[in-house]
Structure 1
Amino acid sequence: MANWSDQNSGLQGQAQGRLDTGARDVAFDAGLRSYMLKVYNYMASGILLTGVVAMLFARGGIESPAATIIMAGGLLSWVIMLAPLAFILVMSFGINRLSTGALQACFWGFSVVMGLSLSTIFLRYTGTSIAQTFFATSAAFVSLSLWGYTTKKDLSGWGTFLIMGVVGLIVAMVINIFLQSEAMGFVISGIGVLIFAGLTAYDTQKIKSMYAYVAGTDMMGKTVIMGALNLYLDFINMFLFLLNFMGGRE
């Protein structure tokens, strides 16, 4: 009788342990979904803000601020073009010193200045081709990000290769500023689309894996914003490179 009671107690303990583990897994999955949803919401809101600012700044065509300030050149145009990089550096190197609220303000400020710097695309390409490219990029981004989120394949090995690809891409773009080669420009755009497609999947998996380390900590809000920034950059760069192929010139 005593042995039966001991065995029964052991089975009950094992069952309770499985229930506790299952409950923790359910709670973790729910927290992860909420975390990723916040990342995507920030990213989508940032892109929306950028698009609205860009359209308003380009409103008026050749008489718009985009034409008279940015395309005309000058000191102010360089300030607008370099401002997004300044925000990225501040957010990246100041993540431990900045509060979550300050990081949020930087993200919205970054989205605004990106809108100013990208406004000239509305003067160079037709509105129809911009819309078509945007929806094509959105479909590709959703597919790639979903794959990065769900795949069991470890994509961490892609990181070094993709970052090296970005560096090489920047060097090639600088060289082509002097060469002005249309063929080289198309090659750069094709490689750029592939690199940022890979980064979309890689960054999604990386952001997902970060949740286990920051859940319940003060860093969680900050990693949400930085994750949104990374995916925002992946989307915008893929869109711009794809626009070189699909964009109809004005």
Structure 2
Amino acid sequence: MTNGISTYGAGKLAGDASLLSTHRVLRNTYALLGVTLLFSAVVASLSTALALPSPGLLLTLGGFFGLFFLTAKLANSGWGLVSVFALTGFMGYTLGPIINRTLALQDGGMIVAMALGGTAVIFFSLSAWVLATKRDFSFMGGFLMVGMIVALLAGLGAAFFQVPGLALAVSAAVVLLMAGMILYETSNIIHGGETNYIMATVSLYVSIYNLFTSLLALLGIGGGEE
């Protein structure tokens, strides 16, 4: 009887420790995400105001993947935080030329505002739903990975071969994929699948970035009509 009580007590303590760890990862993730989004927005604003040139597709991909893998390597050290800000700052810089192109369209300011609002609504709604229901979306991992690879290849094809219709189709697909990524990553955090708040932050930041730029592309379809 005593052994049974001891086992129950040990199990309860382990469960409480796991719950506290999950809450800590979730809290740290959202705190770091908020700061990096603010930092990225400041860099994007400066890039937009100064009309800085676009780094180009290849440099953007190289910079993103290089800094992403560097962050993953340093995620368990203090340098991981430095790498996160380097990554989000670089991505903020790449937003400047994209926003300027959109602002040049008819009603460009409204398009940017709608994309920002849509991104915020989608992110907070999906995150709140997962946190409230505790639904497990781990089953989506394989599908999302394949979908992102296909979308990346299709997007590169649309850029190199100048196929506007394909580019818009990719943007629509990316909106759905990033919504799925927000569900997946939030679920992953609360169910203990992701225990590193730096990598969780990067995953959610990338989802928000891609969601915003894809909404800009979709909402700007009619923006070029004078």
Q: Shorter-normalised TM-score: what interval? A: 0.7 to 0.9
1:91 counterpart residue number: 71
Paired residue for 2:216?
243
Indicate if the aligned counterparts of 1:172 and 1:188 stay in contact, CA closer than 8 A.
Answer: yes
RMSD: 3.0
Indicate the residue corresponding to 1:111 in structure 2.
88
Greater shift, 198-207 or 120-129, is seen at 120-129
Residue 49 of structure 1: CA displacement?
1.1
1:80/1:117 contact within 8 Å kept: yes
For the residues of structure 2 that align with 1:156 and 1:99, how far apart are their CA atoms?
23
2:114 alignment partner, one of 132, 136, 144: 132
Percentage of matched positions with identical amino acids: 25
Please point out which of 49, 58, 69 is paired with 2:48: 58
Distance change >3 Å, CA 112–CA 249, structure 1 → 2: farther
Residue 138 of structure 1 and its aligned partner are, at CA, apart by: 0.9
Does 2:100 correspond to 1:123? yes
Q: Following the alignment from structure 1 to structure 2, what is the Cα–Cα distance between the partners of residues 58 and 240?
A: 14
Q: Which has the larger radius of gyration?
A: 1
Distance 2:17 2:76 in 1: 27
TM-score normalised by L of structure 2: 0.81
Q: Offset at 1:153?
A: 4.0
TM-score after normalising by structure 1: 0.74
1:101 paired with 2:73, answer no
5+ residue gaps, structure 2, are 103-107
Deviation, 1:20, is 8.8
Tell whether 2:29 aligns with 1:44.
no
CA change 1:107–1:165 in 2 (3 A) is same
Residues 152, 33 of structure 1: alpha-carbon distance in 2 compared, 3 angstrom cutoff: closer
Q: How many residues get paired?
A: 217
Is the CA contact 1:149–1:201 (under 8 Å) kept in the aligned structure 2? no
Q: Which shows bigger deviation, 142-151 or 22-31?
A: 22-31
**What per-residue deviation string (whole Å, max 9, x for no partner) do you get for residues 147-206 of structure 1?**
333435432221111110001101111211233222222211111111111111011111
Q: What per-residue deviation string (whole Å, max 9, x for no partner) do you get for residues 65-98 of structure 1?
A: x2xx327x6xxx8545632221101122x14xx6
Are 1:190 and 2:167 counterparts? no
